[in-house]
């Protein structure tokens, strides 16, 4: 699929590219997937100990960001080592990968997303992963508005996952612009953390931002708790060549020791 940040030469041959079962193309602002004859509209896969429905959308997404698997393993490890009940807030939760990984490790989850389609997909992924009976609250809401209400309600969490887009709207047309709203949302998130929190993870996909910038924000919020701060790029391996392809950035903090 096309990506404006793919600033490198192709390594695969035309034969390899022509073997793709689906490709995404864009004409101006409009984009769509081209599927080979016989391709299903969606199909299930096993990945990172979970199951997901893959369903190519007009936004070029497929319902899964596989580069997040290392973050899921990290959260599973933190939650398991806590050896107590852990509550997690997942904002901009998309189709539930992080939520399912956390609940699989024994946590209770509040999953918030502004998209009805994403919430529906998340529920379906939980079902085929055998996790639909686990403690997951699926909330259709604007992330900022939900956190404001949680502050008023006095609800607290042990961990927070934040996966904000560069731009978007809530279910009631609430505006989200990362450069305007992220710092304020992070400050509100601190108000819904427990006195002894376990972890905080923020992912980024918008061009022009860096993992260092995200880590700096986390340090401003959490340095008083001690613990470990990490940052880096999220990648996937290119087919055949093994070359790492950049897919996003992350910064994260936890009380557990760095491996």
As a whole number, mean pLDDT of residues 155-171 equals 90
Mean pLDDT of 122-140: 98
Q: Which helix (H) or strand (E) holds 214?
A: helix 211-222
Q: What is the mean pLDDT of residues 149-176?
A: 90
Q: Which residues of 183-199 are buried (b: 16+ CB within 10 A; e: fewer)?
A: eebbeebeebbeeebbb
Assess whether pLDDT exceeds 80 at residue 243: yes
Identify the CA nearest to 71 among candidates 258, 250, 259, 256. 250
pLDDT value at 175 more than 60:
yes
What is the mean pLDDT of the segment spanning 2-11?
Answer: 84
Instruction: List, for residues 49-77, the tens digit of each pLDDT value.
Output: 999 999 998 888 899 999 999 999 999 99
**What is the band of 212 on the pLDDT scale with cuts at 50, 70, 90?**
very high
SS3 sequence of 218-231:
HHHHHHHHCCEEEE
Interval 215-238 mean pLDDT: 95
- Locate 199 and state its tokens: 């972890």
What are the Cα distances from residue 66, in Å, to 89, 114, 156, 236, 241? 21, 21, 29, 7, 18
| 200 pLDDT higher than 50 | yes
Average pLDDT, the chain: 93
Nearest to 186 by CA among 165, 170, 169, 201: 201
Query: What are 82-109's pLDDT values in tens digits?
Result: 999 999 999 999 999 999 999 999 999 9
Higher confidence at residue 197 or residue 206?
197
pTM over 0.85, yes/no: yes
pLDDT at 33 over 70: yes
Q: What percent of the chain lies above the pLDDT cut of 90?
A: 80
The pLDDT of residue 259 is: 47
- When pLDDT is cut at 50, 70 and 90, the band that residue 257 belongs to is low
């Amino acid at each position: 699929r096309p990506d404006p940040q793919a600033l490198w030469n192709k390594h695969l041959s035309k034969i390899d590219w022509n073997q793709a079962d689906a490709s995404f193309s864009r004409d101006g602002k409009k984009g769509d997937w081209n599927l080979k004859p016989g391709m299903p509209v969606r199909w299930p896969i096993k990945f990172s100990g979970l199951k997901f429905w893959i369903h190519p959308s007009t936004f070029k997404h497929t319902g899964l960001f596989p580069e997040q698997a290392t973050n899921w393993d990290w959260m599973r490890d933190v939650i398991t080592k806590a050896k107590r009940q852990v509550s997690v807030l997942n904002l901009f939760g998309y189709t539930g990968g992080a939520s399912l990984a956390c609940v699989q490790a024994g946590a209770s989850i509040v999953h918030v997303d502004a998209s009805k389609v994403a919430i529906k997909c998340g529920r379906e992924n939980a079902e085929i992963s055998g996790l639909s009976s686990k403690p997951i609250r699926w909330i259709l809401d604007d992330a900022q508005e939900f956190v404001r209400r949680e502050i008023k309600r006095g609800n607290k969490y042990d961990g927070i996952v934040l996966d904000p887009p560069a731009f978007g709207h809530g279910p009631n047309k609430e505006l989200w612009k990362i450069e305007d709203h992220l710092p304020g949302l992070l400050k509100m998130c601190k108000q819904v953390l427990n006195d002894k929190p376990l972890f905080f993870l923020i992912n980024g996909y918008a061009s022009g931002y860096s993992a260092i910038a995200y880590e700096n924000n986390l340090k401003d919020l959490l340095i008083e708790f001690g613990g470990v701060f990490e940052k880096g790029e999220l990648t996937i391996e290119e087919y055949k060549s093994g070359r790492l392809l950049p897919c996003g950035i992350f910064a994260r903090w936890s009380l557990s020791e760095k491996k």
